[in-house]
A and B are shown apart, each in its own frame.
Chain A
Amino acid sequence: MFASTFRVTKFALQDFFRNFWLSLVTLTILVLALVTVNLLVIFNVVAKTAINTIEDKVDISIYFKSEISEDQVMNVQKYIQGLAQVKSVDYISKEQALENFKNKHQDNPKIIQSVEEIEKNPLGASLIIKAKNSSDYPAVLDILQTPQYNNLIESKDFDDHKTVIEKINGITQKVGRSVIIIALVFALISILIIFNAIRMAIYTHREEIFAMKLIGATDWFVEGPFLLQGVIFGIMSMVITLLILYPLLGFIRPYLQLILEGDFNIVKYFNQNFLLIFGLELLGAILLNLISSYIAVKRYVKV
């Protein structure tokens, strides 16, 4: 058994190099498939990040009437904070509001003057509410609509966001759906191409397989080198894909950072999810190779 495993390995490697060009073609197809899968991953991450960035800018501001006390506002904040849909609630006090107002109109002495003339702070406190999902805002607004709260509120600033939110929700769903469809279609195409490439490679060996079987080789002895080659192809294609992918990521990183604002780093993303992304890809590549090789060899092994 040990000797035969060693021989199977020897034949697998020998065959790989003696049929170098065919090996190269199979390998190239595998690498192309893997690179494209990773392009899909990049596309997906970028789309999601872009949507998150926009979504993050959406919020509801509620401005309280100026006579409402801080305690009352705090109570409302506490309550809203407790809602399942709400991510964060920021409190801006009357004083802070005035400060902000002054800062905003620094260059307009008339306004500053008129504000200072009124002794009492004319502005009310406000809360800035961020929901976990853009689709949660309507529910939050509904709650604020109840008289219990509505009576305390001077004005709400959300209407102008409503259309944006609806658009984003639409885009999120569409992008999500199209990524899944593209990924599925692509997976199907690559499976077909790889399956055929391997079948071709094994087809050229059919006389050899026949000869082996007539000499008295067991099925395992004939299949072994092909299966092992499938694993080798899987590992090699993954390594080559990494060698192509990382320079590519480094190249597009500054551009993505520009488009997406903030500190989005695609290289870091791949590093952080290295095992998950490439582990799954490697597993997929090896399984696909093994299954294709197995099905292809089985056809000729039955002599």
Chain B
Amino acid sequence: MIQFKKISKIFYPKTVAVKDINLSIRPKEFVSIVGQSGAGKSTLIKLLTSQLKPNSGQIIVGGWDITDIKAKEIPLLRRQIGVVYQDFKLLPSKNIYENVAFALEVCGVPNKRINSVVPQVLKIVGLKEKAGHYPDQISGGEIQRAAIARALVHRPKILLADEPTGNLDSLNTKDIIDLLLKINEFGTTIMLVTHNKDVVNRIKKRVVLMDHGEIISDQEEGKYIL
């Protein structure tokens, strides 16, 4: 589903964020990426959404070589990927329903379908009652669930989550992780970047450990070791 082949990303003048990375993720897999701050985890995510271009190597997403993707095709790529960030803001001028619907409107989905899909997704993330609330009227955990709903609503095959639980308490964190596991069970490939040791140990899925831009361990059913 996702393949990094000898990927390097160097920030001018000489910060090596990611170095000769080889990583292959199968469809429906759940992979946790862990590692110290500055290890290159977010860089990996941004390379997948084409926010960053690699200096060398090859990236393939769902059989599509996006290494030299044209600017015009980037929207198409992003519509096949859902992204959730720790501080990936919802649009403050739109309520929760509109925020989620927006991801579909952007893709040109007809209104009829939007009206049927959005309530379903809001129900999955448990925000049906808050649909009319604006982002500043709900809690951090709810915002993050709304962000996941937005990332999921167009049924992407891949969900990228960069520290989605970064500023949540343990109860909300558990909620989010359970939600991600549920989504994974439905068949979505998930790449989760996290600092949270408990989270990784609880998930009991593949763990990739990065350090200074390199992968130093890759274990099925891994534990968080530093």
Contact = CB atoms under 8 A, between A and B. Distances in A.
Interface of A: 3-4, 7, 14-15, 18-19, 207-208, 211-218, 221, 303
A211 B51 contact: no
A18 B79 CA distance: 27
B106 A208 contact: no
Give 7 closest A-B pairs by Cβ, nearest first.
A216-B78, A216-B79, A217-B106, A18-B93, A216-B75, A215-B103, A218-B75
Given A15-B93, A207-B89, A215 B150 contact: yes
A14 B91 CA distance: 13
Contact of A212 (B49, B106, B108): B106
B83 to A, nearest CB: 6
Contacts of B103: 215-216
Main secondary structure of the interface of A (DSSP, over half): helix
Contact of A211 (B49, B77, B90): B90
B181 to A, nearest CB: 24
B101 to A, nearest CB: 10
Contact of B93 (A208, A214, A218): A208
B194 to A, nearest CB: 20
Contact of A216 (B76, B88, B89, B93): B76
Contacts of B83: 214
A302 to B, nearest CB: 9
Contacts of A18: 93
A250 B106 CA distance: 50
B78 A214 contact: yes
A58 B118 CA distance: 81
Contacts of B110: 3
B75 A214 contact: no
B106 A221 contact: yes
A77 B12 CA distance: 85
24 contacts: A3-B111, A7-B105, A14-B94, A18-B93, A207-B89, A208-B91, A208-B93, A211-B88, A211-B89, A212-B91, A212-B102, A212-B106, A213-B78, A215-B79, A215-B102, A215-B106, A216-B74, A216-B78, A216-B79, A216-B106, A216-B107, A217-B75, A217-B106, A218-B75
A221 B49 CA distance: 18
Nearest to B105: A7
A213 B88 CA distance: 12
Given A18-B93, A19-B93, A208-B89, 6 more contacts: A3-B110, A4-B108, A14-B94, A213-B75, A214-B49, A215-B79
B46 to A, nearest CB: 10
The winner among A15, A208, A214, A216 for most chain B CB atoms within 10 A is A216
B75 A3 contact: no
Contacts of B93: 14-15, 18-19, 208
B129 to A, nearest CB: 23
Nearest to A6: B111
Nearest to A14: B93
A213 B83 CA distance: 11
B95 to A, nearest CB: 10
Contacts of A4: 108
A211 B75 contact: no
Contacts of B91: 208, 211-212
Nearest to A18: B93
Contacts of B154: 216
Nearest to A1: B108
Contacts of B111: 3
A303 B75 contact: no
A33 to B, nearest CB: 27
A287 B77 CA distance: 34
Given A214-B78, A214-B88, A217-B75, A303 B106 contact: no
A168 to B, nearest CB: 59
A207 B88 CA distance: 9
Contact of B78 (A7, A19, A215): A215
A14 B102 CA distance: 13
B51 A303 contact: yes
A180 B75 CA distance: 48
Contacts of A7: 105
Interface string B34-58: 0000000000000001010000000
Nearest to A217: B106
Nearest to A10: B105
A19 B74 CA distance: 30
A303 B51 CA distance: 6
Contact of A3 (B89, B90, B94, B108): B108
A233 B127 CA distance: 37
Contacts of A221: 106
Nearest to B109: A3
Contacts of B106: 212, 215-217, 221
